[in-house]
Every structure is written in C-alpha cells, then in structure tokens.
C-alpha cells in the first residue's frame, strides 16, 4: 500500500490505520511481515501512526521528517 496524505495531522494517520486494518482483515497478509516507512509528510504521518497503533507493524523505518513519538515503544 502507499496511502497519500491529506494533512500533516491525525486525519491521515487515522486513514492509514484504517487502510492497514482493512488489508489485514480482508486479504491473506502475514501480520508478522507488515512494515511501514515514510518520507517527508509520509514520515510525519507514520510517526503519528506508530504513536497510535504500533502493534500493526512488525517494523518501521523512519525516513526524513520530524519524529514526535517515543522511540522506546
């Protein structure tokens, strides 16, 4: 998946979570192999996603943007 952000706040983070949950519920996805990454606005969105629902992802690679979360989850 490659969701496109609509804002730099929680709206895009919630949409990314909903999309990830949809794919996990409706497709044969190995939950131990769901990875996230983000760059620029995508990195900011994913930092918010990881602050809200880190258990959805096996790993996360933070690209180039601001990190507002706690790295020691």
| Average pLDDT, integer, range 43-66 | 89
In a domain, 58, yes or no: yes
Rounded to an integer, what is the distance from CA 44 to the centroid of its chain? 9
In a domain, 50, yes or no: yes
In a domain, 6, yes or no: no
- If DSSP codes are grouped into helix, strand and coil, which group holds residue 5? coil
Q: Is the pLDDT score of 73 beyond 60?
A: no
Determine the Cα–Cα distance for residues 73 and 27; give it in Å rounded to an integer.
Answer: 27
Do the domain assignments include residue 63? yes
pTM: 0.82
CB-CB contact of 15 with 3 (8 Å): yes
Structural domains of the chain, count:
1
Q: Which of 24, 11, 27 is nearest to 57 (CA)?
A: 24
- What is the distance in angstroms between the CA of the first residue and the CA of the last residue of the chain? 24
Residue 69 is assigned to a structural domain of this protein: yes
Could you read off the pLDDT of 12-45 as tens digits, one per residue? Answer: 999 999 999 999 999 999 999 999 998 888 888 8
| Any domain includes 49 | yes
Domain range spanning residue 59?
32-73
């Amino acid at each position: 998946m490659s969701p496109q952000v609509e804002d730099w706040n929680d709206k895009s983070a919630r949409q990314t979570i909903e999309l990830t949950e949809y794919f996990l519920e409706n497709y044969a996805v190995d939950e131990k192999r769901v990875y996230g990454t983000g760059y620029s606005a995508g990195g900011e969105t994913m930092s918010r996603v990881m602050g809200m629902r880190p258990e959805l992802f096996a790993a996360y690679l933070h690209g180039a943007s601001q990190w507002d979360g706690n790295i020691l989850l």
